[in-house]
A and B are shown apart, each in its own frame.
Chain A
Amino acid sequence: MKFTLFLISALFVSNVSYAAVDPEVAYIFNTFLFIFSGILVMFMALGFAMLEAGFVRKKNTSAILLKNIALYSIAGISFYLVGYSLMYVDVGSYIGSLGGMFYNPTVDELALLDGADNVAAIADTGYSAPSDWFFQMVFCATAVSIVSGACAERIKVWPFLIFAVIMTGLIYPIFGAWTWGGGWLAEMGFSDFAGSTIVHSVGGWAALVGCIILGARKGKYAADGSVTPIAGANMPLATLGTFILWFGWFGFNGGSQLAMGSAFDVLAISIVVVNTNLAACGGVVVAVILSQIMFKKIDLTIALNGAIAGLVAITAGPDLQNHFTSIVVGGIGGALTTFAILLLDKLKIDDVVGAIPAHLVAGIWGTLAVGIFGGGDFFVQLTGVLAAAILVVPLSAIFFYILKGTVGLRVSEEEEAMGLDKAELTGEAYPEFK
C-alpha cells in the first residue's frame, strides 16, 4: 500500500491540472485518513469477537473472547517488533529486512516535535509514519482473527496464541512484502486493493490448515457420514459482530485509498465506500435467497456469512467505477460461500463460524474478479491467489504440527466436553445461568 501511495503522490505532484492543495494540508488529510480508518478497522476486532462469541456454545464463550483480545494485542506487539519491518522495510523481491524493528517515528518527524523548522520536508512525505504503521497493524490483526473463529471450541489457548505470534510476525508479513511491500507479485502487477488475498485468503488458508490438523469438534461428524450440527449459542451477538465488521469495513476499504488530500482521492474513497456497502448487500440477499431455495427455510448464520462474503469479495477491487458490478461481485461471493459451507461439511472440515467459506473462498473469488471486472490481469491475479496458498499452507502446517508435537494443539476430550471456559480459563462467561 505504501508503494502505491508513492506512485499516486508522484503522479499528482507532477500532473496537477487543478488548484493544488497545500502539501501540509494534504499531509493532514492523508494522516487523518490513516488514523480514522485504522480506528474503524480496529473496531473490527470487536466485530470478530462478537461474531465468534455468538457462533460458539455457551461453555466456550470466555475462551473465544480471550483469544480475540489476546490475538489483537499480540498482533500489535509482534507487528511492531518485526512484522512491519519484514513487510515494508528494504523489501527486495521476497522479504523485507530487520532494519525497521522497533518501529518508530522518522528522524525528521522527531526533529519536528523538537521544534525544527522542517514542516515542508515532513509534508512532502505525504503522511505521518506512525499513522501508516497503525493502519497497517490493524490489517495484520484481522488476518489472525479469521483463524481463531474457524478453530474455536477445541484449540488450546496457548498454542493458538503462539501461532498468532508466528502469523503476525512472519507469515502475514512475508506475503505482505510480496505485494504491498513492493515485492515480486507487486512488480508483476498483482492488484489487491485492500487485501481479499493479502489479508482474508492468507488468514483463510491458515484457518483451513488449522481446522484440518485439529480435526472436527467431537460429535459433529458421525462415522456413517451424517452431520450433527452444533448450533451457536447467541445469534444476537453473531449479528452484532457481523454489523460491526460491515461498519469497520468502510475503514478497511476506504482507508486503503491511502490518500485524502485531493478531490480525486475523496471521490475515489466515496466510490469505494458505496461499492463496499453494495457488495455486502448483494452477498446477504443472495445467501438468503439460496438458503430458502436449498433448505426451504432461511438460515440466519448463512445470511451473516453472506455479508462477510460480499465484503471480502469486493475488497480486492472496491474502486470499480460501475456500482452495479460490485453487487454482482458481492452476490457471487455470497453464493460461493453458501456452497462452500455445505462442501466443508461433506469434507468433514469443521469451521465453527464459516471463516473458510467467507474469507478464503470469497477472497479468492474477489481477487480473480479484479481480473474479470476490474483493471487486473486475470493470470496475474491467479498467480497471486496460488502464491498465497503455496506460502501459507506449508508454513502454517509446519508450525501447527510443531505445536501439536510439542505442547499439543487440542484440548482433551474431557476438557472439550466440559468447555474451554472451565478447562483453560478461570470461569465461564455466564456463571449465573446454570
Chain B
Amino acid sequence: MKLVTAIIKPDKVEALRKSLTGIDIQGLTILEAKGYGRQKGHTEMYRGAEYEVHFLPKSRAEVLVDDKDLEKVITTISEAVKTGKIGDGKIFITEVSDIIRIRTGERGAEAIS
C-alpha cells in the first residue's frame, strides 16, 4: 500500500476530487499549504511599497492506494491538475506498512476498498 501525496495548485482541488472519484478511489484528504519550488515567490505591492511573497498558497492532497492502483492514480492526478506551466507541483509516493479502518477494524487493502 502507498500514500500518494500531491502538492497542487489550490484551484485544482475540485478537478482532482472529481477525477479520483471517477476511478473509484474512496478517500482524499486536503491540507492548505504554503511553499515554493522552482517557481519561487513573487512581488506584491501595498500602498506603493513592493514586498516579496516567498511562499505561495498550495494544496496538499493525500490519497491512500492499493499497490495495483498506484500507476492509475498517478496518471489520474497528473491529468487532473496539469496546466503545463511552472508551479503545477509534485507527486511523491510513500510506502505504508498498514492501514486500519477505525469503525470496523479492517486492515490493509480492505480498509480502503
Can you list, as one digit per residue, whether each of A102-122 has a CB less than 8 Å from chain B (1) or not (0)? 000000000000000000000
Chain B, residue nearest A294 (CB): B48
1/0 per residue B18-46: CB within 8 Å of A?
A: 00000000000000000000000000011
Q: Give complex CA distance A299, B50 in Å.
A: 12
Contact with B along A290-317 (1 / 0, CB 8 A): 0100110101011000000000000000
Chain A positions 321 through 341: 1 when the CB is less than 8 Å from some CB of chain B, otherwise 0: 000000000000000000001
A405 within 8 A of partner (CB): no
| Cβ A291 vs Cβ B46 within 8 A | no
Whether A297 and B45, one on each chain, are in contact in the complex, defined by CB atoms closer than 8 angstroms, is: yes
Whether A354 lies near B45 (C-beta < 8 A) is no
Nearest-Cβ distance from residue B107 to partner chain A, whole angstroms: 36
Q: How many A-B residue pairs have CB under 8 A?
A: 31
Which bucket holds chain B's interface residue count?
under 10
Residues of B within 8 A of A229 (CB): 45-47, 49, 51
Task: Say whether B47 contacts A354, CB under 8 Å.
Answer: yes
**How many residues of A sit at the interface, in one of the four size bands?**
10 to 19
Instruction: State which residues 42-93 of B face A: CB under 8 Å.
Output: 45-49, 51
Chain B residues within an 8 Å CB radius of A228: 49, 51
CB atoms of B48 and A291 under 8 A apart: yes
Give chain A nearest CB distance to B51 CB in angstroms.
5
Shortest distance between the CB of B50 and any CB in chain A (Å): 8
B49 touches A299 (CB 8 A): no
By a CB distance below 8 angstroms, the chain B residues around A295 are: 45, 48
Cβ of A301: which chain B residues have Cβ within 8 Å of it? 46-47
Q: Which of A227, A291, A342, A345 has the most CB of B within 10 A?
A: A227
User: Contacts of A386 on B, CB cut-off 8 Å?
Assistant: none
Q: For the complex, what is the distance from the CA of A301 to the CA of B48, rounded to whole Å?
A: 10
Give A260 to B92 CA distance when docked, in angstroms.
Answer: 76
Minimum CB–CB distance for B57 against chain A, Å: 15
What distance in Å separates the Cβ of B52 from its nearest Cβ neighbour in chain A? 9
Chain A nearest CB from B91 CB (Å) reads 31
A330 to B47, CA, bound (A): 20
Q: How far is the CA of A302 from the CA of B46 in the complex (A)?
A: 9
Chain B contacts of A354 at CB under 8 A? 47
**CA A291 to CA B46, docked complex, whole Å:** 11
Query: Given B45, B48, B51, which contacts A341 in the complex, CB threshold below 8 Å?
Result: B48
Q: Closest Cβ of chain A: how far from B33's Cβ, in Å? A: 18
A322 CA / B32 CA spacing, docked (Å):
56
C-alpha spacing A297/B49, complex, angstroms:
12
Contacts of A342 in B (CB 8 A): 48
Smallest CB separation, A356 vs chain B (Å) = 13
- The contact string, 1 if C-beta is below 8 Å from chain B, for chain A 268-305, is 00000000000000000000000100110101011000
A231 within 8 Å of B (CB atoms): yes
Interface centre among B45, B46, B47, B49 (most CB of A within 10 A): B47
Q: Which residue of the partner chain B has the closest CB to A291?
A: B48
Q: Are B51 and A299 in contact (CB under 8 A)?
A: no
- Chain A residues near B47 (CB-CB < 8 A): 229, 299, 301-302, 341, 345, 354
Which residues of chain B are within 8 angstroms of A291 by Cβ–Cβ distance? 48
User: In the bound complex, how far is the Cα of B48 from the Cα of A228, in angstroms?
Assistant: 11
In the complex, chain A residues whose CB is within 8 Å of the CB of B49: 227-229, 345
In the bound assembly, the distance between CA atoms of A342 and B48 in angstroms comes to: 7
Interface centre among A229, A231, A301 (most CB of B within 10 A): A229
Contact A302 B48 (CB under 8 A): yes
Residues of B with Cβ closer than 8 Å to A?
Answer: 45-49, 51
List residues of A whose CB falls within 8 A of some B CB. Answer: 227-231, 291, 294-295, 297, 299, 301-302, 341-342, 345, 354
8 contacts between A and B (CB under 8 A): A228-B49, A229-B45, A294-B48, A299-B45, A301-B46, A302-B48, A342-B48, A345-B49
* Extra pairs beyond A227-B51, A299-B46 (9, CB < 8 Å): A227-B49, A229-B47, A231-B46, A299-B47, A299-B48, A302-B48, A341-B48, A345-B48, A345-B49
Query: A-B pairs with the 3 shortest C-beta distances?
Result: A229-B46, A227-B49, A229-B49
